[in-house]
Amino acid sequence: MNRTIPGTLGLICGTIAILVGIFSFSQISYYLAGGYLLVFLISGMIIIRVFCASCLIKGSCVHILPGYLAQFWNQPPGPYSSEKIYLTGILFAIIILIPQAVLITSLHLFVLFWICIIIAAMSSYLILCPGCGNQYCPFRREKKKQG
């Protein structure tokens, strides 16, 4: 199976979710929308620096953009420390949870945001993570044998 398509789908859905969050904030204040965009960009770059830069296969990353950006750091691949895993989880939580305060006022935007987040997460978990070539990644799972 071509794993680039689910990687691209996850990237698109994640981008749509962030844009929905920015749009929701912009209905209240452009400064809040800009602040959320800044939080997303900073958190995203920290995730890439801390987590993705340690990946064995960042040069052929099926998540597309994070792997490309991770190549800017010449960090040797290796096991992920618990601190890196916790920091990555906290940063993802910040990116996802901050817009909930404004998304809750619009059922349509709230549902769209969560559908996009779920599709992005499930495309990774169900399609990209099984059989991943990064033996150090804590999310890597072996492909189930058929038959």
Q: What is the mean pLDDT of residues 77-88?
A: 92
pLDDT band at 62 (very low <50, low <70, confident <90, very high): confident
Q: Residue 94 pLDDT > 70, yes or no?
A: yes
Q: What is the mean pLDDT of residues 62-78?
A: 85
The residues, ordered by sequence, that sit 6+ positions from 108 with a Cβ below 8 Å of its Cβ are none
At residue 143, the pLDDT reads: 63
SS3 of residue 95 by DSSP: helix
Q: Mean pLDDT: which of 9-13, 74-78, 96-100, 139-143 is highest?
A: 96-100
As a whole number of angstroms, the distance between CA 70 and CA 93 comes to 21
pLDDT 10s digits, 20-46: 999 999 999 999 999 999 999 999 999
pLDDT band at 106 (very low <50, low <70, confident <90, very high): very high
At residue 40, the pLDDT reads: 97
